[in-house]
C-alpha cells in the first residue's frame, strides 16, 4: 500500500491532525494575542528535534532516499535560522521550555531512530504531509498572519512532500501504526496551540 492511501484509510484521525481552531483563527484573524508567539517557540523546538531525527535517518537511508533527506536537513537548518530572525523581530524567547505536547512529539521522533528505515520514512512523510495540509486550511490567512501561512504552503514545500512520498514508497509498504502515532502527535500539538 502506498503511503498516500493512509489519510483516506484513517479519515477521522487525519482530520484531527490537519484542522484546528488555531488554524481557523489564523485564517479569520481571530487568534488571541500571544497565541501565535507561544506556538512559534514550540514549533522552533519541534524543528530542532526533527533535524536531529532526520540527520540520523539520512545516515542510514537507502541510496534513493539520500538526496531528499539531505535537502530536507539543509531546509531544516534554514528553518531554524528563520525562527531566529522571527524571534528577534517579535521579541520571542526561544529558550522558553518545551510544553508537554512538544516533549511527547520529540520522544516519538527519538524512538523512531530505532525503527526500520521504511517505517521512519513513512513517519517523516506523515509529519510533513500533515503540516502542509494543515496550513493549507489557513489560506490565505488574515493579513497579519499571511507571511506565516505563505511560508508553510509554498510550492517548494509541496514538492518536498511529494519527494518524501516517493522515498517512503520505495522503502517498503506503508505502516498504519506509525502513521497513527504521528497523527496523534500532530493533533496534540495543534491542541496545545489553542486549547
Provide the binding-site residues for ligand MP5, judged by CB under 6 A: 43, 46-47, 50, 76, 79, 127-128, 131, 186, 189
Q: In 3D, which of 17, 35, 41, 11 has the Cα closest to residue 131?
A: 17
Counting every residue written for the chain, the total comes to: 195
Measured CA to CA, the distance from residue 157 to residue 159 in angstroms comes to: 5
Residue 115: helix, strand or coil by DSSP? coil
Give whichever of 55 and 173 is closer to ligand MP5, judged by the CB atom.
55
Displacement of CA 178 from its chain's centroid (Å): 15
CB of 24 to ligand MP5, least distance (A): 17
Give CA separation, 85 vs 2, 137, 143, in Å: 38, 25, 20
Give whichever of 119 and 182 is closer to ligand MP5, judged by the CB atom.
182
Give whichever of 90 and 173 is closer to ligand MP5, judged by the CB atom.
90
Give whichever of 47 and 68 is closer to ligand MP5, judged by the CB atom.
47
Give whichever of 22 and 131 is closer to ligand MP5, judged by the CB atom.
131
- 156-188 burial, b at 16+ Cβ within 10 Å, e below that, comes to ebeebbbbbbebbbebeebbeebbbbbbbbbbb
Amino acid at each position: 500500500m502506498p503511503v498516500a492511501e493512509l489519510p483516506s484509510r484513517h479519515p477521522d484521525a487525519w482530520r484531527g491532525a490537519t484542522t484546528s481552531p488555531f488554524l481557523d483563527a489564523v485564517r479569520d484573524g481571530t487568534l488571541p494575542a500571544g497565541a501565535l508567539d507561544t506556538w512559534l517557540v514550540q514549533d522552533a523546538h519541534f524543528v530542532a528535534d526533527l533535524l536531529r531525527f532526520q540527520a540520523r535517518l539520512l545516515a542510514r537511508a537507502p541510496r534513493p532516499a539520500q538526496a531528499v533527506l539531505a535537502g530536507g536537513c539543509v531546509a531544516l537548518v534554514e528553518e531554524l535560522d528563520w525562527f531566529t530572525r522571527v524571534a528577534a523581530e517579535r521579541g520571542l524567547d526561544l529558550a522558553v521550555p518545551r510544553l508537554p505536547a512538544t516533549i511527547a512529539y520529540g520522544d516519538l521522533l527519538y524512538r523512531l531512530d530505532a525503527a526500520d528505515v521504511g517505517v521512519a520514512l513513512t513517519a517523516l512523510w506523515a509529519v510533513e504531509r500533515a503540516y502542509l495540509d494543515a496550513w493549507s486550511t489557513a489560506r490565505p490567512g488574515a493579513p497579519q498572519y499571511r507571511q506565516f501561512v505563505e511560508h508553510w504552503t509554498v510550492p517548494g514545500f509541496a514538492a518536498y512532500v511529494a519527494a518524501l512520498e516517493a522515498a517512503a514508497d520505495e522503502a517498503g509498504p506503508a505502516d498504519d501504526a506509525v502513521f497513527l502515532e504521528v497523527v496523534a502527535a500532530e493533533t496534540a500539538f495543534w491542541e496545545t496551540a489553542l486549547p
